Homo-oligomer: A and B are copies of this chain.
């Protein structure tokens, strides 16, 4: 019984992997059970047994993207000291997550958000919720950085989060539409400069240190 469940689970994962790629390219709205079945050379009824409806398939795909994001971005900074060190590491992990994305359509969430932002319903709500909680994560670390004396006491963290988030989304846009790969280094530079501007002396030391450490670490990875 367990073998069968495991097989079922791994086949579900394989299906969702393909669903993620298809939808980041052709849009989540175009992701129907029929389209996916055709692509995977599976029967519609087989896929139907996994998901039950187009909407459930879309939501499962959103959840699969969120899981991937959590593993690659949040997972990579789980052991990093909270505050400015974790904030900058998290933002840089996010940039790398998009830069190294296998999906033809670039950042899944940017594409899905633009597509669903004016289509009320559970899919849109879940995308908004997940995007909102990532903004909250950034804000929480910015707050903590300020409390720890790493950012200036007067730093406007809401404004800071708006700008930091903008830099990363812009890189995705510039790469996807204009093929500008240098957008990722622009994005990294913008994030660090913006943080430096709000940082205290202690914060600046962390920012310089985290950069130096990264360079030393890279070859051993």
A137 part of interface (Cβ distance < 8 Å): no
Q: Is the CB of B115 within 8 A of A178?
A: no
Given contacts A29-B27, A166-B166, contact A118 B190 (CB under 8 A): no
Given contacts A27-B29, A159-B189, A170-B166, contact A177 B115 (CB under 8 A): no
Chain A interface size, under 10 / 10 to 19 / 20 to 34 / 35 or more: 35 or more
Q: How far is the CA of A27 from the CA of B111 in the complex (A)?
A: 12
Q: Is the CB of B169 within 8 A of A162?
A: no
A residues sitting closer than 8 Å to B (CB atoms) are 25, 27, 29-30, 104-106, 110-111, 113-115, 117-118, 127-128, 131-132, 135, 158-159, 162-163, 165-167, 169-170, 173-174, 176-178, 183, 186-187, 189-190, 197
Q: Considering the complex of A and B, which 10 residue pairs feature the smallest CB-CB distances, nearest first?
A: A166-B170, A117-B176, A166-B166, A114-B114, A162-B186, A117-B177, A113-B177, A105-B118, A25-B118, A104-B118
